[in-house]
Structure 1
Amino acid sequence: MNTNRISLIDGLRGFSLLGILLANLLIFQYGMFGKDEIAFYDLPGWDMAGYYFMEIFVETSFMPIFSFIFGYSLILMVHKLQEKQLPVKRYFFRRFLALMVFGLLHMYFIWDGDILFAYGSLGIILLMYLKRKPKTLLVWFIILASINFLFGFGGTAEESDLLYSKETITAFLQESTVIFQNGSYSEITDHRLNDTPMELSDGEMIAIMILAPFTIMPMFLLGMYAAHRKWLLKPQYFKKMALLLIPIGLLLKISPYFISIVDFSMTGGSVLALGYVFLFSHFYQKWNQHHVIKAFEKFGKLSLTNYILQSIIFTLIFYGYGLGLFAKLGVWAAALIGIVIYTLQVVFSNWYMNHFKQGPLERIIRMVVYWSFKSKPKEKKPVELVEEHG
């Protein structure tokens, strides 16, 4: 049962990374700011339909799955470390610090849509919750999720107007399109790291950077609570919860399209994500030996390596130092290429895991965590031996 549970988590991780890739393709192709100003690119109707499909069914609904699994896995790893009598917080601190370093390197040298730094930072905060009771985790989840929900009142109110003027963003997107399509590696990197259309003070920017991670923290806490309550070991509830949560999540996500004074898309994204978790778990219980399910599982085992590899591949496809297809393909064509690349990564992951026990980047993380080139805990000397040479 334990092996099946771990395999389900790997499968969920791989499934979430497919959705994250599809959402990220909007950023790869239109930029961090361009994806929210899609009218600038004057897309045809078919691609606009694809854009709204991604907005409703994909964007903000797969990152929370990864957050949930991150929290769930955290508790399982705590139990594993405790069984081996290893120092839990010390090992986790090294792990999260390594994730932050990977995130900074990824952000600086490859792509600015990084999630690793935020996850590493939040992981360090979550160290405070490792020994908390499940009830405490649930209370904190409810508090933070309620705050996020309350932010939905007031609607969108053209929030972008608070960040930049129409003239500023138009000029910025015009410049970005030229640079991303034709620029060299150094020109694109400089633009990514230093140019922004946002017209905020340093204090406002710092406030946003501090508060932003807490918008995704509820799903981490819920994942930790779910691990304590063994949610993924209760298949009798999977289908029922999926049928309940997916419609509610979709209704919340489309709220700003019909009611201008509210925008519950952030909360809706998390609810929909949880529905997807139960839906995938339901199918996993029924067809866990099917090659499609196994494909997600293999991908999930190499999640860090595959995630970084995706950034390298798609920046080479869309940026000027590669094929320079930035803003040229359209939403559906980019999604199709994304699925093809993902499938190739699944094939690679399957081959790799048949020859090696862990991915190259996963091995580096474990080396840091266990402070060992063997990427595994150092064996303790027998008590008798310690006493004899004491």
Structure 2
Amino acid sequence: MSPNPGTAGAPPTDPAPTPVRSLAPDLARGFMLVFIALVNAQFFLVGPDPVRTFGDQAVAVVQLTLVNARAVPLFAFLFGYGAVRIMGRVRAGGGGWIHVRRLLRRRGWVMLAIGAVHGVLLLPVDIVGAYGLALLLFVGLTRARDAVLLWTAGLLAAGATALNTALTVALAGAGGETSIAAPSLTEAGFLAASAERFREWLLYTPVTMLTVAMPMIALGVWAARRRILEEPGAHRPLLVRTAVIGLGAAVAAGLPSALVYAELVPAGAPLPQALLELLHDAVGWFGGLGWAALFALLAARWEGRRAGGGPSAGYGPAVSAVAAVGQRSLTCYLAQSVVFTLVFAPYGAGLGATLGVAGAAAVAVATWLATVVLAEVLRRAGRRGPAEAVLRRLTYAGSTHAPSP
């Protein structure tokens, strides 16, 4: 966090640790996982026509406008935000930058390893490895000046848009597909699919890190210094503007592509589908920021109700359960992939070849609801998710700066 708002380019000071766990980051991660589930379930669809009914069309329009290319940027923003919170806890425990860097890099290696296993066995479009790689290569951004963070986010976003545009134009001109194919989805055997997934993961991980995640990770670091999610009430005007502009841009730029995909508007009218998809993806960062701001505003409202109800008041069972998912997001994310592999893969139930968009969305929402129940059971038992326990144990092994249980 900058010493004061008037010195945006000054060296940052570390944020003070939050005495009480804030609702907004957990709430955002918990809701975000239903978005991730929708995106990944649709990824598994390999049938010739996933849009066959009015239900498919309705779900496709909503999902492609508000969810696809918006979920991963939201998660990346929260990841950058969380890295600064880890830094604050290490500082509060007496550690310096050397300890912070060592801890974050170790966390990056562990996440990269978890992502590799996840990508090879279950889902090549893995985000855990991409975020781990980001920590390893760009850990210095957690202490960079605000100006460096904002320039990094802007330049990477501009570079990613330019690269995607060039690739789309080149592929469209050559008459090829403009989307990344995933041959592993149609492999009949698990071992053959795993070999394909390994190659896909090696490509997807660095590409996702640079072209999707890094701009939002940098902005998450910037926001964490100002405690925007921990103190949403103090930043309400900024959050309202961000929610309105971000989600408004996501809808305006995403709707044309969604209407074409849902076969409600003819392809090529008035713009080629490839250009519409570029426009859809280019505003994904705005959509991610808009969702983060909206969740922060909702958290502020619920926290206000809780404060007004006295020390014994809670957020309500539904909000607490979704926040519990956010606290165990890695476990719930991996659990989703297990379910989707069993349901959609050819060597599972094989429904990826027969279900439409609406059917895949139903599986995604049902899976997310199951993880909500799982997370709530773990919360009431006072236990972390098993994946979080492994990540924590390997990250803090031998460290004298582990946070209290």
Distance, in Å, in 2 between the alignment partners of 1:66 and 1:224 is 13
Of 369, 373, 388, which aligns to 1:362? 388
Name the SS for the 1:111 alignment partner.
coil
Distance 1:304 1:176 in 2: 23
Give, in whole Å, the separation in 2 of the partners of 1:255 and 1:96: 38
CA positional deviation for 1:315: 0.4
1:302 has 2:328 as partner: yes
Task: Give the 3-state SS of the residue equivalent to 1:106 in structure 2.
Answer: helix
- Residue 226 of structure 1, aligned match among 220, 223, 227: 223
| Contiguous gaps of at least 5 residues in structure 1 | 31-37, 197-204, 379-390
Aligned equivalents of 1:278, 1:153: Cα separation in 2: 28
SS in structure 2 at match of 1:29: coil
When residues 157 and 52 of structure 1 are mapped into structure 2, their CA distance, relative to the original with a 3 A threshold, is farther
Partner of residue 21, structure 1: 37
2:63 aligned to which of 54, 62, 87: 54
* Change in CA separation of 1:345 and 1:193 when aligned onto 2, cut-off 3 Å: same
SS at match of 2:77: helix
Would you say the 8 A contact 1:298–1:353 is kept in 2? yes
Distance 1:351 1:3, change over 3 A: farther
In the alignment, the residues of structure 2 paired with residue 346 and residue 315 of structure 1 have an alpha-carbon distance, to the nearest angstrom, of 19
Q: Partners of 2:144 and 2:350 in 1: how far apart?
A: 50
- Contact 2:130–2:206 (8 Å) recurs in 1: no
Identity, in percent, stands at: 24
Question: Which residue, 366, 377, 385 being the options, matches 1:340?
Answer: 366
Matched, 1:68 2:94: no
Query: Contact 2:93–2:401 (CA<8 Å) still a contact in 1?
Result: no
Cα deviation, residue 364, structure 1: 1.2
Higher relative contact order (CA 8 A, sep 6+): 2
The answer on whether the counterparts of 2:77 and 2:219 sit within 8 Å (CA) in structure 1 is yes
- The alignment's TM-score, normalised by the length of structure 2, stands at 0.77
CA offsets, 1:144-176, max 9 Å, x none?
A: 22333445767954846759579xx8xx97x96
Mark the CA change 1:274 to 1:98 in structure 2 (over 3 Å): closer, same or farther. same
* CA-atom RMSD in angstroms: 3.3
CA contact (8 A) 1:364 1:375 kept: no
Map 1:1-390 to 2 at 5 A.
2=18, 6-30=22-46, 40-41=48-49, 43-46=51-54, 47-86=56-95, 87-151=99-163, 156-157=168-169, 159=171, 164=176, 177=186, 179=187, 183-193=188-198, 212-216=208-212, 217-232=214-229, 233-235=231-233, 236-237=236-237, 238-254=239-255, 258-260=270-272, 263-288=278-303, 289-372=315-398, 376=402
TM-score in terms of structure 1 length = 0.79
Query: 1:5 and 1:253, CA in 2 relative to 1: closer, same or farther beyond 3 A?
Result: farther
d(CA) in 2 for partners of 1:344, 1:322: 19
Any conservation in 2 of the 1:367–1:376 contact (CA below 8 Å)? no
1:35 corresponds to: none
Change in Cα spacing, 1:108 to 1:280, as seen in structure 2 (3 Å) is same
Deviation of 1:48 after TM superposition, in Å, equals: 4.2
What is the DSSP-based 3-state SS (H/G/I as helix, E as strand, rest coil) of the residue aligned with 2:143?
Answer: coil
CA 1:49 to 1:290, structure 2 compared with 1: closer, same or farther past 3 Å?
A: same
Larger Rg: 1
Which whole-Å CA distance do the structure 2 matches of 1:176 and 1:90 have between them?
37
The answer to whether the Cα contact below 8 Å between 2:64 and 2:255 also exists between their aligned partners in 1 is: no
- What amino acid maps onto 2:44 in structure 1? F
Q: Which moved more, 1:290-299 or 1:58-67?
A: 290-299
- For 1:271, the aligned partner's letter is F
Distance in 2 (CA, whole Å) between partners of 1:246 and 1:56 is 9
Q: How many correspondences in the alignment?
A: 353
Distance 1:117 1:336, change over 3 A: same
| Post-superposition CA distance 1:41-89 (Å, at most 9, x none) | 3631422443343222211101111000101111111111011123111
Of the structure 1 ranges 353-362 and 155-164, higher mean CA displacement relative to structure 2 is found in: 155-164
Deviation at 1:195, TM superposition (A): 9.0
1:185-224 CA-partner distances (Å, limit 9, x unpaired): 334434544699xxxxxxxx97x87555211210000010
Name the CA distance, whole Å, in 2 between partners of 1:158 and 1:287.
49
Quote the offset at 1:293 in angstroms. Answer: 2.6
Distance 1:300 1:91 in 2: 22
